[in-house]
């Protein structure tokens, strides 16, 4: 069996080159690969294309990569809560492809599943449709959208094992499972890394076949964007 376990984030990302296409899991700051993002910041590579639902916030997540001007292009669905992003976008420094969230998710899923294109109703009649093939099925109009694949998919899971199997927690699952399948090389960072056999096969969300490198991350901050609570009084 090939050893998938690497020591840490630095080792996991060490061969990512400038100009690479990356997928980064997460929704907002929930379920983002914090350790790998920090390692990419240290690596100092640039001209990256990042496929990720959001672009972090100014001082956390992908926002940090934007501050260091490592990102050439973002492919996302929602990029609010990030002033530096908006500044780079409006000044033309950063190229951005905004997609309906479901289209983004399905394009990534298609990439991992060997489906080069599909038709979706989302975005028909809007500027998202510009330049895309439109076709009618049963009286309704649909856009053709193509698969997305990446040189490196970087995902975050709750638990993983040495065979690369992954289990996510709560809504931190989001884009991570589809991205895991759509990377030529998939790097998984997990909060707890266990020997193969310790995770129940019935509980696995991402089968190990998709994961090439795995490590146990350290020092998770898990920053909360909007802490909303119910008072007991």
**How far out from the chain centre does Cα 44 lie?**
19
Name the β-bridge partners of 119: 144
| Binding residue for other proteins, selected from 34, 65, 109, 211, defined by CB under 8 A | 109
Q: Which stretch binds other proteins (CB under 8 A): 15-23, 124-132, 195-203, 208-216?
A: 124-132
Site for other proteins in 31-60 (CB under 8 A): 31, 53
* 144 binds other proteins, rule: CB under 8 A: no
Nearest Cα to Cα of residue 160 among 95, 211, 231: 211
- Strands 140-146, 117-120: parallel, antiparallel or unpaired by DSSP? antiparallel
* 171 binds other proteins, rule: CB under 8 A: yes
* 136 binds other proteins, rule: CB under 8 A: no
CB 178 within 8 A of CB 26: no
**How far out from the chain centre does Cα 26 lie?**
6
| Binding residue for other proteins, selected from 98, 185, 194, 204, defined by CB under 8 A | 98
Residue 171 DSSP symbol: G
Beta carbon of residue 222, minimum distance to other proteins (angstroms, whole number): 4
* 118 binds other proteins, rule: CB under 8 A: no
Cβ closest to other proteins, residue 19 vs residue 80: 80
CB 174 within 8 A of CB 27: yes
Secondary structure element (H or E) that encloses residue 11, with its range: helix 9-13
Cβ closest to other proteins, residue 13 vs residue 51: 51
Question: Binding residues for other proteins, per CB under 8 A?
Answer: 27-31, 53, 76-81, 86, 89-90, 96, 98-106, 108-109, 120-128, 158, 169-178, 205, 222-230, 232
């Amino acid at each position: 069996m090939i050893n998938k376990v690497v020591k840490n984030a630095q080792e996991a990302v060490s061969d990512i080159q400038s100009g690479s296409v990356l997928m980064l899991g997460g929704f907002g700051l929930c379920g983002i690969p914090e350790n790998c993002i920090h390692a990419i910041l240290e690596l100092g590579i640039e001209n990256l294309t990042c496929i990720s639902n959001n672009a972090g916030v100014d001082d956390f997540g992908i926002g940090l990569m934007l501050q260091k001007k490592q990102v050439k292009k973002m492919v996302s669905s929602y990029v609010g809560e990030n002033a530096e992003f908006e500044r780079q976008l409006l000044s033309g420094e950063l190229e951005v492809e905004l997609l309906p969230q479901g289209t983004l998710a399905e394009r990534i899923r298609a990439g991992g599943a060997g489906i080069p294109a599909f038709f979706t109703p989302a975005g028909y009649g809007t500027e998202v449709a510009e330049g895309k093939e439109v076709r009618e099925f049963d009286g309704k109009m649909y856009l053709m959208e193509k698969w997305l694949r990446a040189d490196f998919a970087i995902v975050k899971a709750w638990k993983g094992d040495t065979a690369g199997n992954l289990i996510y927690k709560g809504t931190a699952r989001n884009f991570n499972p589809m991205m895991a399948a759509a990377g030529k090389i998939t790097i998984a960072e997990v909060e707890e890394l266990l020997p193969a056999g310790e995770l129940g096969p019935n509980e696995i969300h991402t089968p190990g076949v998709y994961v090439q490198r795995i490590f146990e991350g350290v020092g998770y901050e898990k920053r909360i964007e909007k802490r909303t609570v119910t008072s007991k009084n």
